[in-house]
Amino acid sequence: MPNFLNKLRSCIDRNNVRKNVKCIIYSESKEFFKLSRFELMPDELIIEIFEYISIIDLFNSFINLNFRLNYLLRNIHIGININQNEDKTKYLLNALYYFSKQIYYIHIDYYPLLNLTNFININSLIIYLPTKNQLLSINNKIMPNLSRLWIGIINKNDQNIICQNLFGNKQFSKLYFCYLFEINFNFNSNSFKICFNIRKLFLTKISTKDFILILLLLPNLYQFHFYLNDLLLTTINHFNHQNLRILKIEFLENISQLNYLNYIISFVPFIQQCNFIFINLIKIKDYIILQNIFIKKLFKLKQFICSIYYYCQLSSNQMINKFYRLKIKFPFFQNIKIIPCLIHQDKCLRKIFINKTLIPIY
């Protein structure tokens, strides 16, 4: 922004522009055209100014003023944020459709009247509450340049639409980042095909079976974050995912048999950064199991972050003493940070425990 203001100030105040303007606007009849300083600016600066103005103001204030401004308006790149409480008048819809081919980013809370088929050059799409028609428009044919996709709550009957667009016959050719709030992979999973483009995937509420299925479908996946519903063995044949390097798992329930975690980790032996979020993982023997799993399975591990959400059951002193003993016995857990409960502060148990370990393994 400071660089932009400096360019604007220098363009308006420079003397050579004033001299040139006098030559241009002087006529034989000694009359002057009424030219604003705004129109005397170079094209590049006007385009940059337009990119700071809201789309509805551009549409209502600058369209069809003259040929030059119309031309410049067609050369700007626009990003759109539409909140759920925003006044969605017909002028906003008209402005969106007028500039549709120039919009590269759209962030929508809920706008059922918006037809996404018009936005053919979009690179990034965030939509919290999509309708069925909007989901049908999110495909590679209509959005061939889509590289980032973030979708919120989807009706259960419509979840198959996005699954088919991601893993069906006509997959996105440039999509590398995908976030899905809730998705069911049980719809015709046998018809899914391997997708080589997606590198970063964020999911919520999936099962162990879904986790392994996704690893099979995304061989080039590099970063994977998800919430795990269960921790169970499956009948899927074992394999090693070659490219996954960053893994974050949040366990939605208490883990009764931590040994099953060994089964999940065995599919991703090349992980370098690992982040686990547990609930009430208190017993020292559980940390022993964790240490053994990581040392034996993840031979390229460089960073391990373990966050545990505690219910208010232990006092601060009990918590500190417990992890002090853990640090003495097991070098794997040397770097331990205890964060106070945000509600009770120092008077209560520590609510969150974070363990960060950097381990160079050769």
Confidence of residue 2 (pLDDT cuts 50, 70, 90): low
Please determine, for residue 312, whether its predicted confidence score (pLDDT) is greater than 70.
no
Q: Which among 271, 261, 209 is positioned nearest to 240, based on CA atoms?
A: 271
pLDDT of residue 348: 44
Confidence of residue 30 (pLDDT cuts 50, 70, 90): very low
* β 223-228/103-108 pair status: unpaired
pLDDT in tens, 333-353: 666 555 555 555 544 443 344
Spatial separation of the C-alpha atoms in residues 284 and 322, rounded to whole Å: 8
- Who wins on pLDDT, 132 or 24? 132
- Who wins on pLDDT, 244 or 85? 244
Contacts 24+ apart (CB under 8 A), 234-243: 234/208, 234/209, 236/209, 236/212, 238/266, 238/267, 239/215, 239/267, 240/267, 240/268, 240/269, 240/270, 241/215, 241/267, 241/268, 241/270, 242/270, 243/219, 243/270
Give the CA radius of gyration of the chain: 28
Exposed, middle or buried, 334 (CB in 10 Å: 0-12/13-18/19+)?
Answer: middle
Tell me what the pLDDT averaged over the chain comes to: 77
Please determine, for residue 17, whether its predicted confidence score (pLDDT) is greater than 50.
no
Write out the two tokens for 305.
Answer: 């972050």
pLDDT of residue 82: 85
- Who wins on pLDDT, 228 or 149? 149
Confidence of residue 25 (pLDDT cuts 50, 70, 90): very low
Average pLDDT over residues 225-243: 84
Confidence of residue 280 (pLDDT cuts 50, 70, 90): low
List the Cα angle 248/252/256 in 5-degree steps: 105
Coil, helix or strand for 75? coil
Average pLDDT over residues 194-219: 91
pLDDT in tens, 138-187: 999 999 999 999 999 898 888 888 888 888 888 898 999 999 987 877 76
Least confident piece of the model among 28-32, 195-199, 244-248, 250-254: 28-32
Spatial separation of the C-alpha atoms in residues 119 and 93, rounded to whole Å: 13
Tally of helices (H runs) and strands (E runs) in the chain:
12, 12
Please determine, for residue 100, whether its predicted confidence score (pLDDT) is greater than 50.
yes
Exposed, middle or buried, 90 (CB in 10 Å: 0-12/13-18/19+)?
Answer: exposed
Write out the two tokens for 148.
Answer: 């980032």
pTM greater than 0.85: no
Please determine, for residue 359, whether its predicted confidence score (pLDDT) is greater than 50.
no
Confidence of residue 320 (pLDDT cuts 50, 70, 90): low
Residue type, 167: F
Confidence of residue 18 (pLDDT cuts 50, 70, 90): very low
Average pLDDT over residues 38-48: 84
Spatial separation of the C-alpha atoms in residues 179 and 201, rounded to whole Å: 6
User: 334 vs 206, 286, 301, 327, 355, CA distance in Å?
Assistant: 32, 16, 16, 5, 8
Least confident piece of the model among 65-69, 229-233, 315-319: 315-319
Please determine, for residue 294, whether its predicted confidence score (pLDDT) is greater than 60.
yes
pLDDT of residue 22: 45
Residue keyed to tokens 């950097």: 358
Spatial separation of the C-alpha atoms in residues 143 and 281, rounded to whole Å: 45
Average pLDDT over residues 253-276: 81
Least confident piece of the model among 196-200, 305-309, 342-346: 342-346
What residues does each domain of the chain span? 221-362
Is residue 159 a contact partner of residue 183, using CB atoms and an 8 Å limit?
A: yes
Most confident of 1-10, 135-144, 250-259, 291-300: 135-144
pLDDT of residue 51: 85
Residue type, 302: K
Q: Percentage of the chain with pLDDT > 70?
A: 70
User: 186 vs 17, 133, 145, 200, CA distance in Å?
Assistant: 67, 22, 28, 21
Is residue 200 a contact partner of residue 173, using CB atoms and an 8 Å limit?
A: no
Is residue 177 a contact partner of residue 184, using CB atoms and an 8 Å limit?
A: no
Least confident piece of the model among 164-173, 211-220, 262-271, 344-353: 344-353
Confidence of residue 356 (pLDDT cuts 50, 70, 90): very low
Spatial separation of the C-alpha atoms in residues 358 and 326, rounded to whole Å: 17
